[in-house]
Structure 1
């Protein structure tokens, strides 16, 4: 009964915040019981809504942003920017550990309860498939924030994050190994692949998972596990559902919009407006672009004195979780890692043609075709950086690629994250540690 009571309190409080009280049925013994397909769809919608806007903070730790020292928001972001994880200022914004587990709670309700209560139908399969997919995505973000970077040789002993798979608030939440967390992610992906039956989602509902987006998620996960052939296979499958690329020569429109031709899934608000206001693009990021030939440059950035502010991000119409450009980049990287350099170049060239001026592309395509494997590797990683700027990828990419040294400057002082610094992995939040001595 104690377990049920805790379930009621959390579930009722969370659902109540969404105005879905009509789906609560408080029985005399205190049970909260969603019963119908519509009830459980409301539960999962709450889970999607609970998915936090956490990727901006990760970008702040990477090499994409420079904080504006004179912005009123500085106090909330300064200690994240300088990697001061021990004893940060109390005003510092915290990474959303609890909100991520809140999303997982809702997926668990759907996976564990709807399976037994809702009659068989294609709609039921779609719903439960989405719940597995959302749980997989959430654990992927958790493990890449709070767990060590994936290394096949050490993942069995590397510390990850707790796995909460039941609607049971009495269970002991003990961190699992990185390997176990990834195994759960892949299990959920497989379950979702078997259940999802909508090829794509209509614009406006494309915050939900589909067959296209579950294969996009698998491609990303396999890439991070260095499983190149499986990453290639998943990317190719995702591209059978959605493959169009935005042509910036035809229309100067940001390619990451939720209603754009590239959108595969649009759940993440990857660069929040307050941080957009409080930051500039780093000189390092600006230097990665050809200002003369790269058509993304005037779409992504706007001059502000001697520096550049972001035009990209910070708007509701720019929600983006997966898009086709990422799939082409994953495919090219997987081909490259499989020593299919010519194929990798052929994969990325159509993307480049739609991102550079005709003259710029003519010159660049010749350069790409003449690159050695190592030079093309470096180019491809930089192209990924350019294309996906402030979309929440860079910190995760740095963790899996080289964990390079980064220097941030504020108030005239340099702060350094050395190569392979332990701070490439976030500590568990202090309040979570206080509430759970197992962390």
Structure 2
């Protein structure tokens, strides 16, 4: 079946061919029409538009959420994720494997074709190609953290993950690459993209695009996930050299997850859709992490529904709530990396700078004194708890649990108890059945 995608005046011919048994299912047919730099910019914008709410769905696998069982239709969307059984019988949402490889297709096509494009300056071409490299890096990074084991230096070279795709090749059927191979490609694409881009920051209306500062924020996250603490700290400092302003909740009620908030670094991903946002209630475990009187996030982030349940105000399926990277995360990345490097004073400095903007002055003074006594694992655990408080429902918690302690989790739904054991293999999501059916090599 041929599928024609219209991208703001640019037509890209694609095909969805289940009979070909290819893992990707999206291949070019005939000629791709874009020829000018402007055309290719519109094609990349089509890739930017493919934000698939995978992190919001993955949040249901963690410990932030209780399911709102009265929202029965929405429960069906999240049931498989909440019970750690993505290939189960529920007709729920998926993590959009196909959409992710479609984004990679756009990136690959632009990387290959833009050098010969007409119109535009060399600087515009370089920026466009650089953004495509970063898009490819980010999608591969998200894929390996959904479908590959958490990064482990001892096993990364043998742990199977996902196919790495770096060219538009309609004949190639790919096996799964290892976790290390995927990350090697992510790093290579990050380096190449950063070497080409010449835009430091885009204006708010275009903050969904990759820029130099966004690339540094992505690097900080990737280095953190791969335990490269010195590089993570260096990248975080580079971001803060360009963008370091935190919203002070003592004087402002602006949510940091709004696309136009001062903390925004990249506002691309819409984390939740209507179903996944309506099905959630704040878990008691998460709510208990906040101080009831001194933590200003309780009033700003949360509210009550008609039944007295704690609900979330900082997220929505509204387009205004788009976030991929923001300043609050960067402070926490710097704190964690410094703690791992046995630099407790540096870690406390970044942690306290964030807390000062989130707590009442009286409670901050108490917290500052408490944190001054923390070292080693106690300090690191405090930083993890602060990530849970600060970045709640922004698509980080499940991945933080995966990359750190992988604790036992217990979920309750419709009178049944579901348990994810500590270190359970289900901390890695199964490749979708449709992809397995279309490419048997993914089973190897």
1:148 paired with 2:149, answer yes
Q: 1:398-439: per-residue Cα shift (whole Å, max 9, x none)?
A: 110011111000122211000001111011100011111111
Q: Cα offset for 1:30?
A: 3.8
Tell me the CA shift for residue 95 of structure 1. 1.6
2:331 is the counterpart of 1:328: yes
Counterpart secondary structure, 1:182: helix
Structure 2 residue 295 is matched with structure 1 residue 294 = yes
Which has the larger displacement, 165-174 or 136-145?
Answer: 165-174
Q: Find the partner of 1:312 among 304, 311, 314.
A: 314
Q: Give the drift of 1:120.
A: 5.3
Tell whether the 8 Å contact from 2:11 to 2:32 is kept in structure 1 after alignment: no
Answer whether contact 2:10 2:43 (CA < 8 A) is retained: no
Equivalent residue, structure 2, for 1:3 = none
Aligned to 1:224: 225
Query: Out of 394, 399, 404, which is 1:396 matched to?
Result: 399
Map of 1:172-191 to 2, 5 A cutoff?
A: 172-191=173-192
Q: Secondary structure in 2 aligned to 1:207?
A: coil
Contact 2:8 2:42 in 1 (8 A): no
Q: TM-score, normalised by structure 2?
A: 0.92
Query: What corresponds to 2:25 in structure 1?
Result: none
2:424 corresponds to 1:411: no
CA contact (8 A) 1:273 1:313 kept: no
Give 1:356-435 correspondences, 5 Å limit: 356-435=359-438
What is the total number of aligned residue pairs between the two structures? Answer: 423
Do the aligned partners of 1:271 and 1:392 also contact (CA within 8 Å) in 2? no
Q: Distance in 1 between matches of 2:320 and 2:313?
A: 13
Match of 1:32?
32
Q: Distance in 1 between matches of 2:42 and 2:304?
A: 44
Normalising by structure 1, we get a TM-score of: 0.93
Q: Deviations over 1:302-327 (max 9, x none)?
A: 12334201111013212010011111
Name the structure 1 match of 2:9: 20
SS in 2 for 1:317: coil
CA deviation after TM superposition for structure 1 residue 22, in Å:
6.1
- Secondary structure at the aligned position of 1:175 is classed as coil
Secondary structure of the structure 1 residue equivalent to 2:205: coil
Alpha-carbon distance between aligned partners in 2 of 1:32 and 1:338, rounded to the nearest angstrom: 49
Query: Matched residue of 1:247: which SS?
Result: coil
> What does residue 252 of structure 1 align with?
253
> Where does residue 137 of structure 1 map in the other structure?
138
Which residue matches 2:59? 59
Deviation at 1:170, TM superposition (A): 1.3
| 1:271, distance to aligned residue in structure 2 (A) | 2.9
For structure 1, list consecutive stretches of 5 or more residues without a partner in the other structure.
1-5
**Contact kept? 2:156, 2:180, Cα under 8 Å:** yes
Ranges in structure 2 where 5+ consecutive residues have no aligned partner: 14-28
Partner of 1:106: 106
Deviation string 1:152-184 (CA, Å, 9 cap, x unpaired) is: 111110001001111112111211010000000
Give the C-alpha shift of residue 107 in structure 1: 0.5
CA distance in 1, matches of 2:80, 2:415: 15
Distance in 2 (alpha carbons) for counterparts of 1:52 and 1:80: 15
Structure 1 residue ranges (4+ consecutive) displaced by more than 6 angstroms after TM superposition: none
**1:179-218: CA deviation from partner (whole Å, max 9, x where unpaired):** 0000000000001110111111100100001110000000
SS of residue matched to 1:280: strand
The answer (yes or no) to whether the contact 1:137–1:185 under 8 Å persists in 2 is yes
Question: Is the 2:199–2:212 contact (alpha carbons within 8 Å) kept by the matching residues of 1?
Answer: yes
The CA distance in 1 between the partners of 2:152 and 2:12, in whole Å, is 44
| Shift in CA distance, 427/332, structure 1 to aligned 2, threshold 3 Å | same
> 1:88 Cα deviation (Å)?
2.4
Which residue of structure 2 lines up, in the alignment, with residue 124 of structure 1? 125
- Considering only aligned residues, what root-mean-square deviation do their CA atoms show, in Å? 1.6
Alignment partners' CA distance in 2, 1:63 and 1:22: 43
Query: Which residue of structure 2 lines up, in the alignment, with residue 43 of structure 1?
Result: 43
Match of 2:158 in 1: 157
- 1:23, distance to aligned residue in structure 2 (A): 7.6
Deviation at 1:298, TM superposition (A): 1.1
Name the SS for the 2:281 alignment partner: strand
